[in-house]
Copies of this chain bind each other. A is one copy, B any other.
């Protein structure tokens, strides 16, 4: 008889029988219950090892009402920001004994709603939701079924725990940096006029505030949309801007992928970075550090966002009635070659 044949379908009762105790005692050992006599504990542990017992998570979850899982709703993983965020969340959750399930929303409103209300999100003990598609109008009617912590901006009619980066302030800092190195015609790359609450709106606001305080006129032709917030979208938007004769001496890209794509398009246009065009991104993904030239960007405190969000969620799960809180992580301007001129 092969090892795996004895291991498949080993239950707590099997372990109990081998150890000569009741199922109850096995459960006590497995769940680190204190009051188990050391000798008993050891016999149970031996039986567990011998049989290769692993708890049946479905049974545990059904009975206890807790799955030991949290769900992380993000638009995609292809974008390094979300991949890194997901890793950070998984590690933070893991350090609290929780596992993480990633649910991809594709950044689409319909899928966000569907997933938020779906069985997977409900079966999680709590949900971390990085909102992208939902707007205030849609969300006001939504009431989440699980404890939830939002990553990003407020939504929902009900007050909600929230962890967010300081979008406006960070965008202002990024723009100020470009102003300080003497740039006056700064492309705001990623502007989304139809959006009302998301990152695009907030980062554009910070951009505009910085200009206003520096008495530099806001020019609408410099607020450029990107079809997608990735390399291709950034490159395309900058190419379009160049072709249409919009003049600019700097780019503030609303995320790093846009910025990297933009740098590529600028180079293709025969202009040099940072001499002709300075570039600042947002996110501080790994790639920004290694591109040529390396890219100045905003570190929005992603690691902290993950850690705080997981902690907040755990506290929310523990006490559904507690006062909702809001955390804003410190950000940091990381100056690199793309603005070092």
Contact = CB atoms under 8 A, between A and B. Distances in A.
A230 B287 CA distance: 10
B292 A55 contact: no
Contacts of A287: 231, 260, 287
A58 interface: yes
The SS class assigned to the A binding surface is helix
Q: How large is the interface on A (under 10, 10 to 19, 20 to 34, 35 or more residues)?
A: 35 or more
Which of A261, A264, A286 lies at the interface centre, i.e. has the most chain B CB atoms within 10 A of its CB?
A286
A145 B10 CA distance: 12
A119 B57 contact: yes
Interface string A60-76: 01100001000000001
A263 interface: yes
Interface stretch (A81-89, A197-205, A247-255, A310-318): A81-89
A333 interface: no
Nearest to A103: B99
Contacts of A117: 52, 54
B62 A58 contact: yes
B77 A119 contact: no
B54 A62 contact: no
A35 interface: no
Given A143-B2, A143-B3, A286 B230 contact: yes
Contact of A62 (B59, B86, B263, B292): B59
Interface string A235-261: 100000000000000000000000011
Interface string A138-165: 0000011100000000000000000000
Given A86-B77, A87-B76, A99-B120, A231 B289 contact: yes
A104 interface: yes
Interface string A1-44: 01110011000000000000000000000000000000000000
27 contacts: A3-B143, A4-B143, A4-B144, A4-B145, A8-B145, A55-B119, A56-B123, A57-B119, A58-B58, A59-B62, A62-B62, A77-B77, A77-B83, A77-B87, A78-B87, A80-B83, A83-B83, A86-B102, A87-B104, A99-B101, A230-B286, A231-B286, A231-B287, A260-B291, A261-B290, A264-B290, A287-B287
